[in-house]
Amino acid sequence: MKLLASLTLAAVVSTLSVPAMAQFQKPEDAIKYRKAAMTVMAAHFGRIGAMASERVPFDAKVAAENAATVEFMSKLPWGGFIAGSDKGETSAKPEIWTDGGKFRKASEDMMASVALLNAAAKTGNLDNLKKAFGESARTCKACHDSFRKE
């Protein structure tokens, strides 16, 4: 029973470890962190977009690698939206902090859609990728429309 309890605790702690790591000395550091996470995510998302729109030839392995990176990165920005980081070098709208439930929902929609993008990429089928890419782009845009300044 003791072993089971400690394994359970370890499992719980490991699921919490990504947000727990996102601790910052200053609001500016949190802003830099979340922007960096978004930048990396966008770079890898864009490589999939180039294939989805047939600007570059489809390569199933490259698509799958990029989609896995996008899914991983999608989990990181949220820990950077700490209290006090609404001011400074940021396009974040105040609604992130005043309408946190809606922001959380928008972030969850994006994370769910890129998890599906990763699953679609693993099928190695370009039509699956195109469909899932379009849906992911929609959830990115929906959050930006509500929560990012022009």
- Which one of the spans 22-30, 38-46, 55-63, 121-129 is the region binding ligand ASC (CB under 6 A)? 38-46
For residue 55 the two structure tokens come to: 């600007």
Q: Select 24 or 112, whichever has its Cβ closest to ligand ASC.
A: 112
Among 45, 81, 133, 147, binds ligand ASC (CB under 6 A): 45
Residue 104 interacts with ligand ASC (CB under 6 A): yes or no:
no
Nearest alpha-carbon partner for 117 in 102, 144, 147, 138: 138
Q: How far apart are the first and last CA of the chain?
A: 55
Q: Least distance to ligand ASC from the beta carbon of 1, Å?
A: 48
Of 120-139, which residues contact ligand ASC (CB under 6 A)? 137
- Which one of the spans 18-26, 41-49, 61-69, 106-114 is the region binding ligand ASC (CB under 6 A)? 41-49
Give the separation between CA 57 and CA 94, rounded to whole angstroms.
41
Give the separation between CA 135 and CA 137, rounded to whole angstroms.
5
Is residue 96 within 8 A of residue 103, CB to CB? The reply is yes
Among 26, 87, 105, 141, binds ligand ASC (CB under 6 A): 141
Residue 46 interacts with ligand ASC (CB under 6 A): yes or no:
yes
Q: Select 77 or 79, whichever has its Cβ closest to ligand ASC.
A: 77
Amino acid at site 90: T
For residue 83 the two structure tokens come to: 């209290």
Amino acid at site 79: G
Chain residues binding ligand ASC by CB under 6 A are 42, 45-46, 49, 137, 140-141, 144
